[in-house]
Amino acid sequence: MHKESISGLVLAGGRGTRMGHVDKGLQPFGGTTMVAHVLDRLAPQVASVAVNANQNLATYAAFGVPVWPDDTPGYAGPLAGLEAGLRRCATTYLLCVPCDSPFLPDDLAERLYAGLRDADADLALAVTEEHGVRQPHPVFCLVKASLAPVLSAYLAAGGRRMDGWYPRIKVAEVPFAQADAFRNINTRDELQQLDPALAPPARAPRLADVVSCLSAYDPDALPVRDAQRIIREFVTPVGTTEHVALRSALGRVLAADIVSPFNVPAHDNSAMDGYALRGADLAPQGDTRLAVVGTTYAGRAFDGAPQPGQCVRIMTGGVMPAGCDTVVPQEFVKEDGDAILLAAGTVRSGDNRRLAGEDLKAGSAALARGRVIRPADLGLLASLGVAEVPVRRRLRVAFFSTGDELRSIGQPLDEGCVYDSNRYTIHGMLQRLGCELIDMGVVRDDPQALEQALREACENADAIITSGGVSVGAADYTKQIMARLGDVTFWKIGMRPGRPLAFGRIASNGHGAFLFGLPGNPVAVMVSFYFFAREALLRMMGAEAPLPLVKARSNGTIRKKPGRTEYQRGILGPGADGLPEVRITGSQGSGILRSMSEANCMVVLHDEQGTVQAGDMVDVLLFDGLI
């Protein structure tokens, strides 16, 4: 059998120059990464697989394979990867394939092996023919491991060409019919074209197309959930991924599934300080007496195997000695010289033992892509030895306030003017979402200034958030200019506060950005942000994180007419019986920011709901913990 004599090596040691200096193997592709596809196709063909990489070593190691960097310094190309593989290869042959060939043939090893053996060659490479032109694929090759010194000598003399060392060895060419199977993905465009999961839609949808899916659409009386649905269907995620050091991954969106390369914990171990014993030794009645034959600490195992009637002193986290399946906590035993005594019924067989893989099983999905990384996830990734995490790049969001009456902090407050507060609440909300912020200040109600600001925002950001100027009869130009720059719609939403909302996509000089034109009133700004912009922005970041509404009991009557959604500022806390209870705070005027600041939640009264009686359950959105 040829398989046992061949090791597989994935060449992932390049600098990804043509892809913009990214680590090619780790680029997202078809729901995972490119290298994961290659490993999946290669592994069944060979005895074992390894990866040659020169950066992100821990990320590659997280696939559960050995990772071998080049020995020859300076990114010397694929031959240096092959050299690293040949030197470490434990089998007679090494089969190497590039990390950017996710469609490689599943009979590659078998056919190259047959070609090499038939020609009694040192190296066999795949060759295809396209339109009558012979196309060799030198990075898809099977090589005798004994050739390591020949290759090292060639590299040491400065040789870098894949075929440069062929004159020194015997080479066989093996024809393959499927040219497509050897397809390499070299540029970001190719990556996107070939990856259905990443490819942008053939034609960006128009708002009119999205809106036509609704059975009844009236922009002047749009229910909240219809507006949310249109926004959700219209926005698209930004595709780019980057790799960040583990600590910097907090709050970022995971770009690829993380699969556990090994069991966590790796071994059965003790959950207590005590004694590890064989459950079968436990006497059903009376005392059990066990001789203590050694000690095992966390990180320092006991290397004997206790016999029946023996036990081992063990510390929390210590590896269970062979044959032991139970731990009795130290406070439950009586010491008696070199032995312990424990009463019947103190522990049952299997107690206080943590099983290997009970936290994570090897090969199971530890974290799914699309997740916003939290502190516990950092720990989980660390427990898998992941040093670098694939995350979506930060979403760039530009924002500005509109209105001639607005003054920035530090300016004198002329009569009739107010300080621009919206930009600060928006800053805070965007920062919590983990966006990259582009604060564009206050823009006057002036057509030219507005157009310039919107164009600049568009050219630098993925999304734009403005406040003010979108209400009915507003004496300003915001709506006009927005409509002129793209596909924007202006809604009157059945809600309070925050009826007006502009939404769409605008473009300038070939750059497009999604636009959220929020109302001007400070409370309306926050409500519209949380209930319309937040989920859309997260979706653009590749995360699905619907608003976490919870139920709480209302402590009083809340007057409401069915037919629109109302958001009331509330304070949630324990009621007399300790269960969560919410009460409405102060004035609910849409300009009164103080009551928003006093509140710790919003009570959401949906369209169909009427007056709420004391004791009724209502939906609540808590501000704490909200991203």
Contact by Cβ (8 Å): 489, 532: no
Shortest distance in whole angstroms from residue 471 CB to ligand AMP: 4
592 contributes a contact to ligand AMP by CB under 6 A: no
| Of 524, 525, 479, residue with least CA distance to 502 | 479
Report the nearest approach of ligand AMP to the CB of residue 565 (Å). 19
Nearest distance in Å: CB 460, Mg ion: 24
d(CA 115, CA 174): 6
Q: Which is nearer to Mg ion, 14 or 520 (CB)?
A: 520
Q: Tokens 């409509």 appear where?
A: 483
User: Do 66 and 51 touch, CB atoms closer than 8 A?
Assistant: yes
Nearer to ligand AMP, 274 or 469 (CB): 469
Does residue 326 contact residue 276 with C-beta atoms inside 8 Å? yes
- Answer positive or negative: Cα dihedral of 51, 52, 56, 58: positive
Please, what is the minimum distance in Å from the beta carbon of residue 600 to ligand AMP? 22
Find the length of the chain: 627
- Tell whether residue 390 is a contact of Mg ion (CB under 5 A): no
**Identified binder of ligand AMP from the candidate list 102, 403, 517, 542, rule CB under 6 A:** 403
Q: Give 216 or 475: the residue with its C-beta nearer to Mg ion.
A: 475
**Residue 446 lies near ligand AMP (rule: CB under 6 A):** no
Least separation in angstroms between CB 517 and ligand AMP: 9
| Alpha helices by DSSP H, 390-442 | 422-432
Which one, of 229, 239, 237, 214, lies nearest residue 503 by Cα? Answer: 229
Q: Smallest distance from the beta carbon of 420 to ligand AMP, in angstroms?
A: 4
The answer to whether the beta carbons of residues 223 and 229 sit under 8 Å apart is no
Under rule CB under 6 A, residue 8 binds ligand AMP: no
User: How far apart are alpha carbons 117 and 115 in whole angstroms?
Assistant: 6
Report CA 153 to chain centroid distance, whole Å: 43
Q: Which stretch binds Mg ion (CB under 5 A): 245-253, 378-386, 465-473, 524-532?
A: 465-473
517 binds Mg ion (CB under 5 A): no
Q: Check residue 535 for interaction with ligand AMP (CB under 6 A).
A: no
User: Tokens 């190259």, residue?
Assistant: 112
Determine the 3-state secondary structure of 67 from DSSP: strand
Q: Which is nearer to ligand AMP, 14 or 403 (CB)?
A: 403
| Residue 469 binds ligand AMP, judged by CB under 6 A | yes
Q: Binders of ligand AMP among 155-174, rule CB under 6 A?
A: none
- Beta strand 310-314 with 287-296 is parallel
Of 401, 508, 528, 595, which one interacts with ligand AMP (CB under 6 A)? Answer: 401
- What span, in angstroms and rounded, lies between the C-alpha atoms of 425 and 519? 13
Q: Look at residue 406 and give the partner it binds from Mg ion, ligand AMP, none, a contact being a CB closer than 5 to 8 Å depending on partner kind.
A: ligand AMP
Q: How far apart are CA 483 and CA 503, in angstroms?
A: 10
Q: Residues 403, 494, 498, 517: which binds Mg ion (CB under 5 A)? A: 403
Buried b (16+ CB within 10 A) or exposed e, 268-290: bbbebbbbbbbeebbeeeeebeb
Binding residue for Mg ion (CB under 5 A) from 13, 105, 468, 517?
A: 468
Binding-site string for ligand AMP from residue 415 to residue 444, where x marks contact by CB under 6 A and - marks none: ---x-xxxx---------------------
Contacts to Mg ion by CB under 5 A: 403, 468-469, 520
Contacts to ligand AMP by CB under 6 A: 401, 403, 405-406, 418, 420-423, 467-469, 471, 474, 519-522
